[in-house]
């Protein structure tokens, strides 16, 4: 068989032979990096896509990604398929399989590569799907390159996932829509909360995203027709200047009592120094360590000190990536679609690719397409500078048009006997 395959000239021929031989292979899927509200939707897409594919026999899951798999940790989805619980994945946040942050060695001659391939061969795996962000695509890139080098027939596919929306070559990334919805909805609620008193006050909301400001930018969607709040939005794509910031806040307070400002955790000055590191110049905590609060906390103190107004900072923190309650239905569907497309592409012979979202023209919708994973891993897609306006303090309509469809639709999360969301655990 392997000789025949090696001599085959085209993909078509390879599959023709495979089909002839009626050789079913197994799927294995893993999750890696930080969780999102819909990472388990992509898992659901891979698993159900696998089971509905005539070329697939079993579907396995790596527990704690490639790191756990190397330690022999994996599971078989058969029981969940049989008891009908797979669907619950689509309403469960976190990473059902567990994740890892594990970077494979650059050197493809490292012994870890044959070790992984042997473990996959032992399980009769033909199709490997890895759900994650930049670092996970790096894993897919390395494994697919090693497989090519060694004539392995295993196909390696990447399924995009990140709340940061920073993967290149895709219109957007599953996980972003739900996180963006969380940010928009929560900032709107904070705007209403902050407006209750009739005194000058500033509320600073710190939003995730160290290198790219996509998630912070989504706070503009919270703004209502009166155009007042959030008044200013600062992304890490633009150098942050505290003098300009204070002037803008001062101006904002002249037109309204309650000013809400959204800042990215990754704000930095022109020298590249993070704003959240400013305090460490002087501050030492009770353990003798240099103080490192978030940039929201730093800016809170700056505003209080310099403008003498009431000020509060709110760090949205992990809720941005784990809120099932504010999941976007659009995001959920696309995450499932991306997972299913990955396994379908793998069984069709594709390898070393990431599923990408291509936006249709006209009415919103996406097509799943494939992009070379080697061109994606370790790259960062930033918010285009032309979408950042008003001296780096606001977003253009083009961004709103881009992000608006991604947050649409809400999802009914099943409720358990305790009246709270009923999630599924492995």
Among 34, 50, 236, 352, binds a copy of itself (CB under 8 A): 34
Residue 355, both tokens = 């599923």
**Rounded distance, CA 331 to CA 296, Å?**
28
What are the respective helix, strand and coil percentages of the chain, to the nearest 5? 40, 20, 40
**Rounded distance, CA 338 to CA 224, Å?**
32
**Rounded distance, CA 228 to CA 256, Å?**
8
Residue count, binding to a copy of itself (CB under 8 A): 74
Contact call for residue 307 and a copy of itself (CB under 8 A): no
Contact call for residue 207 and a copy of itself (CB under 8 A): no
Among 186, 219, 229, 393, binds a copy of itself (CB under 8 A): 186
The answer to whether residues 231 and 261 touch, using CB atoms and an 8 Å cutoff, is yes
Contact call for residue 363 and a copy of itself (CB under 8 A): no
Instruction: Classify 282 in phi/psi space as left (phi over 0), alpha (psi -120 to 50) or beta.
Output: alpha
Q: Shortest gap between Cβ of 350 and a copy of itself (angstroms)? A: 28
Contacts of 376 (CB under 8 A, 6+ apart): 134, 137, 158, 167, 168, 169, 170, 354
Q: Shortest gap between Cβ of 234 and a copy of itself (angstroms)? A: 19
**Rounded distance, CA 175 to CA 324, Å?**
11
Contact call for residue 293 and a copy of itself (CB under 8 A): yes
Q: Shortest gap between Cβ of 323 and a copy of itself (angstroms)? A: 6
Among 29, 41, 117, 302, binds a copy of itself (CB under 8 A): 302
Contact call for residue 269 and a copy of itself (CB under 8 A): no
Q: Which stretch binds a copy of itself (CB under 8 A): 119-127, 281-289, 365-373, 385-393?
A: 281-289
Q: Which stretch binds a copy of itself (CB under 8 A): 49-57, 158-166, 298-306, 336-344?
A: 298-306
Residue 204, both tokens = 């600073």
Q: Which of residues 113-152 bind a copy of itself (CB under 8 A)?
A: none
Of 118, 119, 116, 121, the residue nearest 105 (C-alpha):
116
Quick check: helix, strand or coil at residue 39? helix
Residue 84, both tokens = 């009908």
Among 53, 138, 237, 279, binds a copy of itself (CB under 8 A): 279
Q: Which of residues 393-422 bind a copy of itself (CB under 8 A)?
A: 404, 407-410, 415, 418-421
**Rounded distance, CA 204 to CA 190, Å?**
10
Contact call for residue 284 and a copy of itself (CB under 8 A): yes
**Rounded distance, CA 298 to CA 263, Å?**
11
Contact call for residue 20 and a copy of itself (CB under 8 A): no
Among 109, 122, 281, 386, binds a copy of itself (CB under 8 A): 281
Comparison of 9 and 425: residue with beta carbon closer to a copy of itself: 425
Contact call for residue 92 and a copy of itself (CB under 8 A): yes
Among 2, 286, 361, 363, binds a copy of itself (CB under 8 A): 286
Q: Shortest gap between Cβ of 150 and a copy of itself (angstroms)? A: 29
Contact call for residue 70 and a copy of itself (CB under 8 A): no
Contact call for residue 390 and a copy of itself (CB under 8 A): no
Contact call for residue 193 and a copy of itself (CB under 8 A): yes
Comparison of 145 and 306: residue with beta carbon closer to a copy of itself: 306
Contact call for residue 200 and a copy of itself (CB under 8 A): no
Q: Which ranges in 283-328 belong to alpha helices (H)?
A: 295-307, 319-322
Contacts of 1 (CB under 8 A, 6+ apart): 17, 21, 23
């Amino acid at each position: 068989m392997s000789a025949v395959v090696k001599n085959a000239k085209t993909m078509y021929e390879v599959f023709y032979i495979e089909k002839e031989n009626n050789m079913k292979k197994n799927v294995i899927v893993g999750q890696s990096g930080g969780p999102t509200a819909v990472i388990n939707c992509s898992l659901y897409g891979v698993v159900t896509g696998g089971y509905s594919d005539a070329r697939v026999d079993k579907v396995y899951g790596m527990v704690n990604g490639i790191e756990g798999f190397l330690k022999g940790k994996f599971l078989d989805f058969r029981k969940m398929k049989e008891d009908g619980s797979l669907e619950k994945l689509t309403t469960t946040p976190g990473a059902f399989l567990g994740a890892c942050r594990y970077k494979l060695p650059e050197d493809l001659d490292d012994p870890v590569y044959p070790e992984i391939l042997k473990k996959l061969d032992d399980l009769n795996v033909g199709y490997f799907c890895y759900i994650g962000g930049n670092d996970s695509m790096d894993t897919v890139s390395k494994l697919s390159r090693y497989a090519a080098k060694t004539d392995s027939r295993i196909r390696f596919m990447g399924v995009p996932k990140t709340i940061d929306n920073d993967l290149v070559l895709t219109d957007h990334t599953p996980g972003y829509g739900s996180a963006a919805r969380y940010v928009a909805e929560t900032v709107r609620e904070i705007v209403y909360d902050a407006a209750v008193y009739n005194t000058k006050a500033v509320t600073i909301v710190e939003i995730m995203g160290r290198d790219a400001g996509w998630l912070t930018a989504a706070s503009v969607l919270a703004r209502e027709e009166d155009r007042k709040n959030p008044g200013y939005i600062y992304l890490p794509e633009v150098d942050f200047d505290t003098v300009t910031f204070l002037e803008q806040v001062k101006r904002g307070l002249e037109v309204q009592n309650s000013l809400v400002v959204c800042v990215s955790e990754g704000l930095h000055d022109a020298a590249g120094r993070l704003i959240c590191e400013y305090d460490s110049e002087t501050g030492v905590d009770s353990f003798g360590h240099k103080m490192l609060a978030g940039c929201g906390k730093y800016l809170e103190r700056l505003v209080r000190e310099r403008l003498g107004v009431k000020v509060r900072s709110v760090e949205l923190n992990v809720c941005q990536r784990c809120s099932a309650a504010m999941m976007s239905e659009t995001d959920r569907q696309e995450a499932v679609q991306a997972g299913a497309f990955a396994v379908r592409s793998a069984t069709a012979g594709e390898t070393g690719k990431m599923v990408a979202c291509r936006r249709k023209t006209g009415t919103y919708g996406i097509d799943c397409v494939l992009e070379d994973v080697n061109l994606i891993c370790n790259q960062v897609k930033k918010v285009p500078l032309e979408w950042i306006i008003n001296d780096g303090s606001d977003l253009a309509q083009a961004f709103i048009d881009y992000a608006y469809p991604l947050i649409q639709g809400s999802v009914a999360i099943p409720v358990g006997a305790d009246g709270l969301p009923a999630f599924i655990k492995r």
